[in-house]
Structure 1
């Protein structure tokens, strides 16, 4: 009997076409609608392998209902949607898809920084709604990016790629990381600063951290108060790292100048969320890695991780417990 696999979202045929030769593959048949929890619970009862997305909460109660499960392959870099500790206790491997989305996410992050700094979305709406009647000296003026100071919180792969893009704009680079990266400091011309100092001196602050117990609400009222009144905060990492209530207050009161957000604590973000009412917030629907080529690479890597784990090999992208929340 072939090992059973469940895939929680419809993937392109060319990604999964070879799986059916060796595995009994079942897949949720919707591309844009997450699998309902009750369906996932039922499917988990017999599967040995699971390929999931960030939209699925693979918690302890779900894992307990999967007695045959050997591997959970997450199609994402982050894995805060999975209870890695519970999985590890039961000998279940957890994998992710790092590396393949680094450059694409760095592109989006810098694009969001530019769009927020120069009020691009606000300006487009201004034109499309018929408000553009003349040119005036201070109309829709934004913040300069070239020559400004960029503070990167979390100098991982994507943070390093972002720094390389910023160098092309002659930005001054500073970073905060749990561990100093002396080699990268030399290569990138980036300076280490304690978090408090980084927030005080940066014109742009980009959050590039995973969401863990240590990073949850890392940027709250106290941290926002340290930032310049002209500062821009960008988050393409994970919602929940920034206290959204505190951010709303800081933006509403013009304690900071603007924010660009690709992620939210609750996703999809409710349309009545206070942050969506503010003109100085640019919002995106979690599209950091959303290029065709990158999403195909992510899916291919997730499938390879799954196959490796079920074949008895150690997957290349095994998530270790000490790297989880």
Structure 2
């Protein structure tokens, strides 16, 4: 059996983290895993343990120059948060698959891969619920004025002012949520909004009429989502068309009382 060569280009380090031997994990990481699952040690085999019966050559690279030096005889390429130059990818004449860690194939020159006949895979639905939950945590913290509520309780002012809620704390069900983008993160956002009884709007470069009834959302034009939303949550991918897509003009359309939540990419909003 011939050796299978896997080249990994991952500036974040998540790929190699998952294949390091247990002894190379930090003591804190070991403790975290064992605290969550005392029997978890066998669930973290190293790459060598996983593929001990197979002739696999794993080659991590850190720069585009190192990638160019290794890709020529590689069978598989794993990429995470790096941009592969088309000219470098073309040198991977033996590639059977390009795996991108993330919900899309950003950083991979898809036209070049298609011309080479090399399939490109992604890992959709990774962390999407965590981002949606975090977005809702931010929304509720702002709408319910949680820091002020905490200060009110700590000061014990309620003993003299009564138990009534602080002024300016609305009922969520009376508000409208706007979603910029309607991908895998925005869709659970819409389902949660429906559970609160909110009206939910969305805008995307593509409309999804088949999803609107089940997610209880309405599609509105670009300007209207800024005008009508009490909370506007950004869930767009960052590319040359969306960079700085939200700017002074869009903020001028929003209600004075509205909030904007951006758990996508900072460069989507023009500072």
Query: TM-score w.r.t. structure 1 length?
Result: 0.59
The residue aligned with 1:174 is: 201
Unaligned 5+ residue runs, structure 1?
29-33, 246-325
5 Å-filtered alignment, 1:154-165, equals 154-165=181-192
Instruction: Name the count of aligned residue pairs.
Output: 232
1:130-160 per-residue CA deviation (whole Å, 9 max, x = no partner) reads: xx76758898976664431101122233222
Are 2:270 and 1:238 aligned? no
In the other structure, the counterpart of 2:223 is 196
Please state whether the residue corresponding to 2:232 is helix, strand or coil.
strand
1:25 aligns with 2:57: yes
Partner SS, residue 211 of structure 2: helix
Counterpart check, 1:88 vs 2:114 = yes
**4+ residue runs of structure 1 moved beyond 6 angstroms?**
136-143
TM-score by length of 2: 0.70
Instruction: Work out the CA distance in 2 between the residues paired with 1:42 and 1:135.
Output: 68
Q: Does 1:227 align with 2:254?
A: yes
SS of match in other structure, 1:4: strand
Aligned 8 A contact 1:78 1:211 in 2: no
- 1:109 paired with 2:110, answer no
Change (3 A) 1:65 1:192: same
| Residue 35 (structure 2) aligns with | none
3-state DSSP class of the match of 1:168? Answer: helix
Residue-by-residue CA offset, 1:257-314 (whole Å, 9 max, x unaligned): xxxxxxxxxxxxxxxxxxxxxxxxxxxxxxxxxxxxxxxxxxxxxxxxxxxxxxxxxx
- Cα distance, 1:64 vs structure 2: 4.0
Distance 2:107 2:141 in 1: 29
Does 1:72 find its partner at 2:98? yes
Cα distance between partner residues in 2 of 1:230 and 1:92: 50
Q: Residues 178, 141 of structure 1: CA spacing in aligned structure 2 closer, same or farther, 3 A cutoff?
A: same
Residue 304 of structure 1 is matched in structure 2 by: none
Distance 1:44 1:228 in 2: 52
Unaligned residue ranges in structure 2 (runs of 5+): 20-43
Three-state SS of the structure 1 residue aligned to 2:58 is: strand
Q: Does 1:5 align with 2:6?
A: yes
Structure 1 residues 198 and 147: CA distance shift in structure 2, 3 A? same
**Shift in Å, 1:200:** 0.5
Shift in Å, 1:100: 4.8
Please give the per-residue CA displacement for 1:184-243, whole angstroms capped at 9, x wherever unaligned.
322232222111101111011112222344333322222222112222222233343332
Aligned-residue Cα RMSD (Å) equals 3.4
User: What's 1:256 paired with?
Assistant: none
Cα distance in structure 1, aligned partners of 2:198 and 2:157? 29
Separation in structure 2 between the aligned mates of residue 119 and residue 60 of structure 1, nearest angstrom: 49
**5 Å matches for 1:269-288?**
none
Residue 83 of structure 2: aligned partner: 57
Mapped to 1, the partners of 2:257 and 2:56 lie a distance apart of: 56
Q: How far apart are residue 92 of structure 1 and its match?
A: 2.7
Structure 1 SS opposite 2:73:
coil
Select the structure of larger CA radius of gyration. 2
Question: 1:61–1:140: structure 2 CA closer, same or farther, 3 Å change rule?
Answer: farther
Q: 1:92, 1:173 → 2: CA distance?
A: 40
